[in-house]
Amino acid sequence: MITLEVQKGKIDTSNGSINIKNLVMKNEFEIDTSNGTVKVGKTNAAGYDLSTSNGHITVEGKNKSDEFEKNTSAENVLSIDTSNGNIYVN
């Protein structure tokens, strides 16, 4: 796991899990993978736009459906999309 501090950014992969221990973002940040679980430990995101086709989403220890949106008009929104995998954001 890594700590990542960015102004704005995107991670895009076809196959493979993504693990970020600490994500500090100034603006929007996108994570997109076709096959793989995405885990983000701490983050300062003010909003979320999360989606998975085949998996589940857990935000702050609470199970969500296959899509979760919160405060998507905020300046620093964390967007995560995976086709086959789970999403964990704490």
Each residue of 12-60: pLDDT tens digit? 999 999 999 999 998 999 999 999 999 999 999 999 999 999 999 999 9
- For 24, the enclosing helix (H) or strand (E) is strand 18-25
pLDDT at 13: 92
Neighbouring C-alpha atoms within 13 Å toward the C-beta of 12: 2
Q: Decide if 12 contacts 33 (C-beta within 8 A).
A: yes
Q: What is the pTM of this model?
A: 0.91
Q: Give SS3 for 55.
A: coil
Q: How many domains is the chain partitioned into structurally?
A: 1
Q: Decide if 30 contacts 6 (C-beta within 8 A).
A: no
Domain range for 85 is 2-89
pLDDT at 69: 96
In the block, residue with structure tokens 């995107």: 10
In the block, residue with structure tokens 């220890």: 61
Query: pLDDT confidence of 8, banded at 50, 70, 90?
Result: confident
